[in-house]
Amino acid sequence: MSVDREGLESKVAILGLSQSGKTSIRQVIFEGFAPESTSQNPATVRINRKLFNLAGSSINLFDVGGQSAYLNEVFQQYQERTFSDVKAVIFVVDVSDAANIMRSKYYFDLTVENVKEISRTAKIYVFAHKMDVVPVNKRQAVLQSIKDIFEIDNMENAEIYGTSIFEDTLWDAMQKILALVYPKDDSKTLEIKDVVGAYDLSFLAVSTTHGLVLYSQPEALAGVNYERLRNELSNTFFPGMVMDYAIFSLGNFCVFMREIDNDLVLTSVFEHGPDLGDTRSKFLELSGKIMQIFQPDELIGQAKAKMKSTLSKYLENNKVREIATLERRFDVKVNVKCDICGKQVQKSILDVAVENSEKLERGIKITAGFGVTTIEMYPIHECIEGMREIPVFLDSDLEYRRYDNSRPI
Ligand SMILES: Nc1nc2c(ncn2[C@@H]2O[C@H](COP(=O)(O)OP(=O)(O)OP(=O)(O)O)[C@@H](O)[C@H]2O)c(=O)[nH]1
Ligand SMILES: [Mg+2]
């Protein structure tokens, strides 16, 4: 199946004064950071450009540093680079910084002008941001006054949302933007339609772990935060256990949720059948089909297949026993959290092996002594403080045992 890669990428620019919260928004939504961990963010220098892959399609995010020198540079020299081909521009206004509201408006007007000239069809989204600092009964008035000052009602292509990284409002606003700019792959949409038909589903959605819906049938505008739901369910019913999937009843419906890939969750809803076991096996079968649609790149698949035998040999050479039974656990992901940035890192021993294919002992350490063999793995992630690794200890069945604090590498 050939897909046009370029068609599967959307450019989004995010602008606003310095300290308004642009980088924090990027980190919380697209990089899995905990909101609190953004408090020491350094100012962004010039433009930070990052490509985020969401279920095979990408958002190319231009996070523009908000200090005057950088903003002036953008509007004097880099208009084309910043605004050409943008699908959406997010303009962030800090509601706690009333003193600078007119300066913010000045750059907003420049933004509107440039969008009009360079990317006529792009939408502009104003985030009246840091709403958490405004008392609840004043929020509507604050939103209205920014709406008036920014003259949003006079513009056809602009909308305003009150947002905060500490509240669901940011996710809701981002969901509306994604519904417009997320480059859906038509072939995936068709395959999903087929699955919904074949299994007589009432609803199916593929979303990020935090609930940004990427594909849904019928169309949905809000998702469920699976990470939160799973934690609540397991704390209530299965303390200390990590759930493979979640099943619950909702009126006449049966809801199943499952992570089908890193940060990708499948939700499917059936009408209640007479037999839960039957419905469960139907769900497991269909989630396998959906997983195939979202299979990572063929190349990664091949690298993993090759790595499997290398990893088996490596474990065997290091006196780890019963490799054949361990093999089926090679690609089971472990979920650990960085204590600095709060990011959830989900990696299997096979993922870590692929990352360290040149030198396995760099990422997977095996120590044997006194009849006990310990396997450790060191998944790496890009943290706010540079690259860090999180030591994960695996028991003899490759089950995750515990982890220590993340540490710089
Ligand atoms: N209270 C509150 N603080 C926030 C919110 N979003 C971001 N912040 C804080 O605002 C500060 C500045 O955030 P940044 O994301 O670095 O700001 P920026 O807009 O990227 O700044 P420049 O890179 O200089 O343009 C950080 O201390 C964040 O923790 C929010 O919704 N509420
Ligand atoms: Mg920044």
Q: Are residues 154 and 231 in the same domain?
A: no
Calpha distance 131→172 (Å, rounded): 14
3-state secondary structure of 341: coil
Q: How far apart are CA 272 and CA 338, in angstroms?
A: 40
Of all protein residues, the one whose alpha carbon is nearest to atom 27 of ligand 1 is: 39
Assess whether the C-beta atom of 39 lies below 6 angstroms from ligand 1: yes
pLDDT at 344: 76
Compute the C-alpha angle 227/41/164, nearest 5°: 50
What is the whole-number distance in angstroms between the Cα of residue 40 and the centre of ligand 1?
A: 9
Looking at the DSSP bridge assignments, the partners of residue 158 are 124
**In a shared domain, residues 219 and 307:** no
What range defines the domain where residue 268 resides?
186-293
Q: Rounded to 5 degrees, what are φ and ψ at 341?
A: -100, -10
Q: Verify that 45 and 160 share a domain, yes or no.
A: yes
Choosing from 263, 293, 323, the residue where a domain stops is 293
pLDDT on residue 296: 66
Q: Give yes or no: residues 402 and 304 share one domain.
A: yes
The token duo for 315 is 């474990």
Query: Is the Cβ atom of 48 under 6 angstroms away from ligand 1?
Result: no
Strands (E), 177-296: 203-207, 213-217, 245-250, 253-261, 264-271
The answer to whether residues 121 and 220 belong to one domain is no
Q: Check whether residue 133 and residue 81 sit in a common domain.
A: yes
Q: How far is ligand 1, taken at its centre, from the CA of residue 92, in Å? A: 10
Domain count, the chain: 3
> What is the model's pLDDT at position 337?
82
Contacts 24+ apart (CB under 8 A), 69-73: 70/44, 70/45, 70/46, 71/15, 71/17, 71/107, 73/46
Cβ-count burial of 49 within 10 angstroms (0-12 exposed, 13-18 middle, 19+ buried)?
Answer: middle
Q: Is 286 in the pocket of ligand 1 (CB under 6 A)?
A: no
Domain termination site, one of 131, 150, 181: 181
pLDDT of residue 272: 78
Sign of CA dihedral 81, 82, 83, 86: positive
For residues 308 and 262, state if they share a domain.
Answer: no
Geometric angle at alpha carbon 303, from 302 and 309, rounded to 5°: 100
> Per-residue confidence of the chain (409 residues) as pLDDT tens digits?
334 445 689 999 999 999 999 999 999 999 888 899 999 999 999 999 998 889 889 999 999 999 999 999 999 999 999 999 999 999 999 999 999 999 999 999 999 999 999 999 999 999 999 999 999 999 999 999 999 999 999 999 999 999 999 999 999 999 999 999 999 998 899 999 999 999 989 999 999 988 899 999 998 877 888 888 877 877 777 776 666 788 888 888 888 899 888 788 999 998 877 677 778 888 888 988 898 888 766 667 777 888 999 999 999 999 888 898 898 889 887 878 888 888 878 888 998 998 898 899 999 999 877 777 889 999 988 888 788 999 999 887 888 777 778 888 8
- Between the CA of 39 and the centroid of ligand 2 the distance, in Å, is 11
Structural domain ending residue among the three candidates 147, 165, 181: 181
Residues 6+ apart with CB under 8 A from 215: 55, 184, 188, 189, 192, 205, 206
Q: Could you identify the atom of ligand 1 that is nearest to the CA of residue 63?
A: 20
C-alpha 38 – ligand 1 centre gap (Å): 7
For residue 239, say if its preceding peptide bond is cis, omega within 30 degrees of 0: no
Looking at the structure, do residues 204 and 308 belong to the same domain, yes or no?
Answer: no
What residues have CB less than 8 Å from 334, skipping those under 6 apart? 346, 347, 348, 377, 379, 392, 394, 400
Q: Say how many Å lie between the CA of residue 63 and the centre of ligand 1.
A: 12
Q: Are residues 245 and 313 in the same domain?
A: no
Residues 123 and 156: their CA atoms lie apart, in Å, by: 9
Q: Is 20 in the pocket of ligand 1 (CB under 6 A)?
A: yes
Per-residue model confidence (pLDDT) at position 241: 64
Could you tell me if 215 and 151 lie in one domain? no
Residue 129, ligand 1, Cβ within 6 A:
yes
Contact yes or no for 295/304 (Cβ under 8 A): no
- Looking at the structure, tell me whether residues 131 and 26 fall in a common domain: yes
- Flag whether the pTM goes above 0.85: no
- Classify strands 386-389 and 380-383 as parallel, antiparallel or unpaired: antiparallel
- Identify the residue whose tokens are 């913010």: 104
Do 160 and 60 share a structural domain?
A: yes
**240: CATH:** 3.30.450.30
Which residues fall within 8 angstroms of residue 268, CB to CB, at 6 or more apart? 199, 201, 203, 204, 205, 255, 256, 283, 286, 287
Q: What are phi and psi of 120, to 5 degrees?
A: -50, -35
